């Protein structure tokens, strides 16, 4: 390991989070012990050991902040850590470390397998490893949300079971259902029966639950009147649940209900909750996607029925703010058909004809084939360098076994060779099937632009939900207008769509339509059409 320890003040930094991201990471004490051993072998003098138990997913770690400050003021110049992901799992802290390198205030970061110095390659690799750690965290969050949604769609409540039920701890992961609690299910039903008589207050039933039924929570605690009130207001007991709370996303559960929906409604009347909005088993296309542009609460939906004097009945769906963040929000509801018109208008701007999709993918494949030979040469060079690196490591082992070099020389040379090996492995892993995956994503984006409007118009609520999700993020509803912050790939498709429509508009007056070949020539002459750079679609696949 190439380390210059002259007058360099090193800070040993060890971190471990209590979150799932760090389950396989060494404990803080173990990290410190291993890094001290590394420092001793390398002849480094540690100025200070600093540790913290804090997630690195977001900026603001107190100990890390103190180290950065010391490096900025010149009190320290280098760091020793167990792994690059101990330093950062967010883009802000990663950028700060790279910037300290650029300023010359941070001279090196040492791990047991790598040394990062103020060189372009080392800074790039450090940025790559920290970004990879961030990507792993981001993907975990997405996968968890996707898994929870899939679980809800199967009718399984993805949270602790309410009183009277138990979470099945022994089922396979992802299939842990909710079952009846043999000790409490019937007692909870008796409490509902007593409430349905209309003769008991919640406070009185809380006393009966404690003194007559000896009802306790799973943790052994006494049931309070607040707990009981929440039970009587929980739609889970008649078979439906909302997840996440206040999201407007309702699901029909597969668990056995304690009461019927009619009984639940009657209890709401007894409790004085006549106007309380409750699900009726309906599914809405756009719930769970939009927020209120005024107070940032989620947007929910409800059905309304209007009867005319002539006897005709009309059904409407309205979207409105849940007011969970601000009860005094002034935003009014908007009818679903108006929302559909706004979304369709946005889809108009990205629509492309089928023949352009075919030509675009053919153009991309041809461009890819032209570069294939140069990529082949680069891949061959990487593979040869990797093979040379492996041979170098094997040779060093043989030389050490034969006594040709001492242990110190062996460690130093092997450390550099292993570091080179890791870098080459990163390059080879990235080289892989990157092009084929990119072509697949580009094809999917063109297909979206070609079919989205038609699918949105003719599809069901699930299709409409998915199309709006893929169209953009940060969906806000304000003053009855939907603001869609379209992703960069969709913005590029808007530009392409406009150019393609202009091409077709120019040839429409011709009495004899142009052939496919002639149309493709017109595409190829347009500089915007043949250079749609940076298409990296954001789709769930």
Q: How far is CA 182 from CA 179, 186, 372, 500, in A?
A: 9, 8, 66, 66
Q: How far is CA 135 from CA 132, 144, 538, in A?
A: 5, 14, 14
Q: Given this model, what pLDDT does residue 40 score?
A: 86
Q: Given this model, what pLDDT does residue 199 score?
A: 83
145 backbone φψ class: left, alpha, beta (φ>0; ψ -120 to 50): alpha
Give the architecture-level CATH label for domain 165-271.
Alpha-Beta Complex (3.90)
Alpha helices (runs of H) in 351-487, residue ranges in sequence order: 354-401, 407-431, 434-458, 461-471
Q: Given this model, what pLDDT does residue 520 score?
A: 59
| pLDDT mean for each 10 residues of the chain (541 residues) | 62 80 69 87 88 82 92 92 86 90 93 89 86 73 74 86 88 76 93 88 90 89 88 92 82 90 85 56 73 91 80 83 91 92 82 63 60 65 82 83 82 81 69 57 65 78 80 83 67 57 60 59 57 42 34
Q: Kindly provide the b/e burial profile for residues 71-107, where b requires at least 16 CB atoms within 10 angstroms of the residue's own CB.
A: beeeebbbbbbbbbbbbbbbeebbebbbebbeeebbb
What homologous superfamily does CATH list for 10-149? Answer: Resolvase, N-terminal catalytic domain (3.40.50.1390)
Is the sign of the CA dihedral 271, 274, 277, 280 positive or negative?
Answer: positive
DSSP E strands in 243-391: the ranges are: 250-252, 290-292, 299-307, 313-321, 334-335
- Residue 136 phi, psi (nearest 5): -60, -45
Strands 178-180 and 165-167 turn out to be antiparallel
Tell me the pTM: 0.36
Angle at 52 between CA 49 and CA 56, to 5 degrees: 120
SS3 (DSSP) at 255: coil
Structure tokens belonging to residue 244: 């996440």
What is the residue extent of each domain of the chain?
Answer: 10-149, 165-271, 290-348, 349-541
Structure tokens belonging to residue 309: 């004097």
Q: Given this model, what pLDDT does residue 310 score?
A: 74
């Amino acid at each position: 390991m190439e380390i210059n320890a002259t007058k360099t003040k090193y800070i040993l930094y060890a971190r471990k989070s209590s979150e799932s991201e760090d389950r396989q990471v060494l404990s803080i004490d173990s990290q410190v012990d291993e890094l001290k051993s590394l420092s001793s072998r390398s002849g480094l003098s540690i100025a200070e050991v600093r540790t913290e138990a804090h997630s690195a997913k977001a900026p603001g770690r107190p100990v890390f902040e103190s180290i950065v400050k010391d490096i900025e003021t010149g009190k320290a110049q280098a760091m020793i850590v167990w792994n690059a992901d101990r330093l950062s799992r967010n883009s802000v802290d990663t950028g700060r470390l790279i910037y300290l390198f650029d300023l010359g205030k941070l001279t090196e970061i040492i791990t047991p397998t790598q040394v990062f110095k103020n060189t372009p390659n080392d800074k790039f690799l450090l940025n790559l490893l920290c970004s990879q750690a961030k990507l792993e965290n981001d993907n975990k969050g997405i996968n968890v949300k996707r898994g929870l949604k899939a679980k809800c769609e199967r009718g399984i409540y993805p949270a602790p079971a309410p009183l009277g039920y138990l979470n099945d701890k022994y089922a396979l992961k992802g299939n842990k259902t909710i079952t009846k609690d043999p000790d409490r299910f019937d007692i909870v039903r008796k409490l509902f029966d007593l409430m349905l008589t209309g003769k008991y207050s919640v406070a009185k039933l809380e006393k009966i639950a404690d003194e007559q039924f000896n009802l306790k929570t799973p943790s052994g605690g006494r049931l309070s009147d607040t707990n009981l009130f929440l039970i009587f207001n929980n739609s889970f007991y008649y078979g439906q649940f909302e997840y996440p709370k206040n999201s407007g996303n309702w699901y029909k559960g597969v668990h056995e209900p304690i009461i019927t929906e009619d009984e639940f409604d009657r209890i709401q009347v007894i409790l004085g909750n006549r106007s309380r909005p409750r699900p009726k088993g309906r599914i809405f296309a756009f719930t769970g996607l939009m927020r209120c542009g005024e107070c940032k609460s989620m947007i929910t939906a409800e059905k309304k029925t209007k009867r005319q004097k002539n006897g005709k009945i009309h059904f409407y769906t309205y979207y409105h703010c849940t007011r969970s963040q601000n009860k005094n929000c002034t935003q009014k509801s908007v009818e679903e058909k108006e929302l559909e018109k706004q979304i369709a208008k946005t889809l108009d701007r990205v629509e492309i004809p089928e023949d352009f999709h075919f030509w675009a993918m053919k153009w991309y494949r041809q461009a890819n084939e032209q570069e294939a030979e140069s990529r082949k040469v680069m891949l061959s060079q990487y593979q040869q360098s990797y093979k040379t690196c492996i041979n170098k490591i094997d040779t060093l082992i043989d030389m050490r076994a034969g006594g040709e070099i001492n242990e110190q020389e062996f460690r130093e040379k092997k450390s550099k060779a292993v570091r080179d090996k890791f870098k080459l492995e990163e390059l080879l892993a990235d080289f892989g099937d990157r092009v084929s995956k990119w072509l697949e994503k580009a094809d999917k984006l063109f297909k979206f632009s070609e079919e989205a409007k038609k699918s949105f118009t003719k599809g069901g609520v699930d299709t409409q939900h998915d199309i709006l999700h893929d169209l953009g993020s940060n969906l806000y509803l304000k003053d009855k207008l939907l603001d869609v912050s379209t992703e960069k790939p969709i913005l590029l498709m808007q530009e392409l769509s406009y150019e393609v429509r202009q091409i077709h508009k120019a040839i429409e007056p011709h009495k004899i339509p142009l052939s496919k070949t002639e149309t493709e020539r017109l595409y190829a002459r347009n500089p915007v059409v043949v250079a749609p750079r940076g298409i990296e679609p954001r789709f769930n696949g």
